[in-house]
């Protein structure tokens, strides 16, 4: 199936005679970026058809490109066949679907999957807030969030820095767990983070350990350029943020570990 099939479907369903489309609208409809030539050359928008699948998309739908204004990123389409109205086409499609529902379902699913298979980019923007050295920063300090977030504990390992990334639904409990472990006190929290850090890393409980936190409001998830704040009180989203931060630690060449708690 051509990646321009959604454009053909869109034009076939339009009731208008003329459609002035921004290039961004066309890209949103097809679910991917237009090639560079579409933004630079008017010939890309010609009505030649033949082996040019993108032109066949509008020609097969009964439309032609009437005018191009690449300076303003606008393409003007005009309907060729008034007789092939959207109502008639819809009735024909409905009739075919009623006769063969299995085929109709296959075509519908294939169309939806074409959009789902478009390349996706998921990125994270996060701001670390310094909590300071664990021994010196009490758990009761108002900078230690009580709710969900991502902690980063960092300590020297020879000449290098080793880190632990922790996703937790209670930052304060995870932080207190490590602090109690460092002081040799009984852990009075429901968190096992402190014990796990010292069991699974080369951290020295008598050496300085710095702690940073990504708290609510300081993480944004961006998918294909559209962003929103991450909900760090929602476990799966908090874990996703932690995993992306963990990958960043690895890419920066640091020895690190990830805990999802």
The 10s digit of each residue's pLDDT in 227-257 is: 899 999 999 999 999 999 999 999 999 999 9
103 pLDDT above the threshold of 60: yes
The more confidently predicted of residues 191 and 97 is: 191
Q: Where are the beta strands (DSSP E) in 82-238?
A: 122-126, 129-133, 149-157, 160-168, 210-214, 219-223, 226-229
Domain that residue 211 falls in = 123-260
- Distance (Å) of CA 121 to CA 124, 224, 226, 236, 255: 10, 5, 10, 18, 26
Tell me the pLDDT tens digit for each residue of 158-168.
999 999 999 99
Give the pLDDT of residue 224.
Answer: 65
Tell me the pLDDT tens digit for each residue of 74-95.
999 999 865 544 444 555 555 5
Number of domains observed in the structure of the chain: 2
Last residue of a domain, one of 116, 141, 169: 116
Contact 111, 30 (CB under 8 A): no
Q: What is the mean pLDDT of residues 54-71?
A: 93
Q: How far apart are CA 261 and CA 200, in angstroms?
A: 15
109/161 same-domain check: no
88/144 same-domain check: no
Tell me the pLDDT tens digit for each residue of 173-190.
999 999 999 999 999 999
25 pLDDT above the threshold of 60: yes
151/84 same-domain check: no
Give the Cα-Cα-Cα angle 75, 64, 107 (nearest 5 degrees): 100
Last residue of a domain, one of 69, 93, 116: 116
129/89 same-domain check: no
150/249 same-domain check: yes
Lowest-pLDDT range of 36-45, 114-123, 175-184, 186-195: 114-123
Q: What is the mean pLDDT of the chain?
A: 89
198 pLDDT above the threshold of 50: yes
246/165 same-domain check: yes
Last residue of a domain, one of 88, 116, 144: 116
Sign of CA dihedral 46, 50, 56, 58: positive
104/217 same-domain check: no
Q: What percent of the chain has pLDDT over 70?
A: 91
144/256 same-domain check: yes
59/127 same-domain check: no
Contact 157, 147 (CB under 8 A): no
112/145 same-domain check: no
């Amino acid at each position: 199936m051509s990646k321009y099939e959604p454009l053909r479907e869109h034009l076939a369903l339009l009731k208008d005679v003329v459609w002035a489309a921004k290039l961004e609208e066309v890209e949103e409809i097809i679910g991917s970026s237009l090639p560079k030539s579409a933004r630079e050359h008017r010939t890309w928008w010609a009505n030649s058809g033949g082996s040019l699948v993108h032109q066949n998309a509008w020609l097969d739908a009964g439309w032609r490109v009437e005018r191009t204004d690449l300076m303003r990123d606008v393409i003007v389409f005009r309907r060729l066949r008034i007789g092939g109205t959207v109502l008639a086409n819809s009735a024909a499609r409905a009739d075919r679907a009623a006769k063969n529902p299995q085929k109709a379902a296959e075509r519908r699913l294939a169309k939806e999957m074409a959009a789902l298979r478009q390349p996706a980019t998921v990125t994270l923007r996060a701001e670390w807030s310094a909590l300071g050295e664990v021994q010196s920063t009490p758990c009761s300090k108002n900078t230690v969030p009580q709710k969900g977030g991502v902690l980063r504990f960092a300590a020297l390992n020879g000449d290098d820095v080793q880190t632990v990334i922790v996703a937790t639904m209670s930052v304060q409990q995870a932080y207190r767990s490590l602090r109690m472990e460092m002081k040799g006190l009984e852990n009075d929290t429901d968190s096992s983070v402190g014990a796990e850090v010292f069991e699974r890393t080369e951290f020295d409980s008598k050496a300085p350990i710095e702690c940073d936190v990504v708290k609510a409001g300081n993480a944004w998830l961006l998918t294909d350029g559209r962003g929103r704040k991450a909900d760090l009180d929602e476990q799966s989203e908090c874990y996703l943020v932690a995993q992306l931060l963990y990958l960043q630690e690895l890419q920066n060449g640091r020895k690190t570990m990830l805990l999802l708690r």
